[in-house]
Amino acid sequence: MPGKTRQHISQNEPLLFEISSPGKRGYQLPDLDVPQVDPAEALGAANARQEIEHFPEVSELEIIRHFTRLSTWNYAIDLGMFPLGSCTMKYNPRVNEQVARTEGLLWAHPYQPASVSQGAMEIMSQLESALAEITGMDAVTLEPAAGAHGELTGVLLIRALLEHRGKARKKIIIPDSAHGTNPATAAMVGYSVTNLKSNAEGTIDLAELARLVDDETAALMVTNPNTVGIFEKDIVKATEIMHSKGALVYMDGANMNALVGLARPGDFGIDVMHLNLHKTFSTPHGGGGPGSGAVAVKKHLEPFLPVPRLKRVKDMFEFDYDRPLSIGKVRAFYGNYGVLIRALAYIMAHGGPGLRVATLDALLNANYIRKGLENHYDMPFTSPSMHECVFSHDRQEAKGVRTGDIAKRLIDYGFHPYTVSFPMIVHGAIMIEPTETEGKQELDLFIQAMIDIANEIDTSPKLVLDAPHCTRTPRVDEVGAARKPVLRWKP
């Protein structure tokens, strides 16, 4: 067992059904002081709830302790590091949560008239301006609900512009280092996908790009930094190649955590991009919601942005629906408003210099981990890492151990696993993204855990192959669980 595990308190906890006893209640009420009435007679049999068969019967104390103990089973950012990255798993300052709960903002309703929504609209206006400045773009819509939705909106904008020019074109070029949602987005908008293989450095192959682009190419969808954590140093040349053929360039902004305050996509030729406000600019998004996939565009795409557009008329904000070239609405109302409040609070609390420092911290942390582990795990690419570093399990595979095994063993050391087997262009990928929020002490503990696991693989690989050892449930049959899931409890 590892010597420096930091396990939180936990107990083996039975099911509520197992501690249930007939007649127990979680409440106690005084005797009725009015005549008792049969609910079925008073309400009608169809409206009276029947007793639920096998429903657990427990006391208040039992149920409180049960769920309190269960809560200690959860791994959370408040407990320790999530090395799988800014995909919602970084610490977000509590002050942003407090601001979003300001009474006048918390209870704002989208059906309120504009005359009593000026404060909410001012927040949206300021956020649009801030994001335009950060990205170097000309206009921003806050309507899309999350990253993939922002992608869809961006490609719809590209199609609308090209159709307005007379021809929508047929295909979109996507590097193999792009995010997996990009091909799906292109297909949903009606484009075929042409795969662009990366070069030996893990970046765009300019010669191959020039060969692939033609008069039927609508756009290039590029993630920058890409999914192997490398900045596309030839991005300006790539955008020039696309623009020379009348095509556009879409940038997936999911990795903007590495660029804020250092580089602006608009300055290197990007036409349209999305931002994951819930990743880069503070909102806990894990567990399925809510998110925000704000889309930023250059001025030639601005007429096509979703309606309504926020505009100021004299001293009042209004929503403008009179936009004949717009792609229409992409979401009800005006976006996930609570996420927008948090994002603006995050930006204003940091200020320009603070946002730059956060980015530099993210880069520093990733490269600190890279340096600490480069002698213990293979690195497929030698280009400098940005906010994440990607290793391979190639060295450990010689002992029969793969990236998923290493991740399971990491649980025994008190850490959440890193991103496993992604990006797919790296065999046995071990993607580690510490984000800007982790301190040196936590990083050192993580690095030592990974080194200890590498040493265990050299001396006792079965220890890792049988991991995890410190969890209530031992290693599960993942294939069996996927093929034959048990979805219903039977007493």
Domain presence at residue 81:
no
Q: Encoding tokens for residue 439?
A: 């301190």
Domain presence at residue 173:
yes
| pLDDT in the model for residue 27 | 83
DSSP 433: B
User: Is there a single domain that holds both residue 343 and residue 460?
Assistant: no
Max CA pair span of the chain: 87
Identity of the amino acid at 291: G
Which residue has tokens 């001293």? 315
CATH of the domain at 380: 3.90.1150.10
Domain presence at residue 20:
yes
For 283-316, how does the pLDDT look when each residue is reduced to its tens digit (9 = 90+)? 866 555 688 999 999 999 999 999 999 999 989 9
| pLDDT in the model for residue 211 | 97
Average pLDDT over residues 22-31: 86
Domain presence at residue 7:
yes
For 220-259, how does the pLDDT look when each residue is reduced to its tens digit (9 = 90+)? 999 999 999 999 999 999 999 999 999 999 999 999 999 9
User: Is there a single domain that holds both residue 159 and residue 188?
Assistant: yes
Which residue has tokens 């049999």? 45
Model confidence at 8, pLDDT cuts 50, 70, 90, reads very low
Write out the residue range of the structural domain in which residue 66 sits: 1-73
**Tally of domains in the chain:** 3
As a whole number of angstroms, the distance between CA 40 and CA 377 comes to 68
Average pLDDT over residues 75-83: 85
Q: Encoding tokens for residue 254?
A: 């999911």
DSSP states along 28-92: --PPPSS----HHHHH-GGGSPPPPTT-----HHHHHHHHHHHHTT---TTTS--TB-TTT-S--
| pLDDT in the model for residue 20 | 92
User: Is there a single domain that holds both residue 327 and residue 461?
Assistant: no
Q: Name the E strands within 329-484.
A: 389-392, 419-420, 429-432
Domain presence at residue 86:
no
User: Is there a single domain that holds both residue 106 and residue 187?
Assistant: yes
Domain presence at residue 490:
no
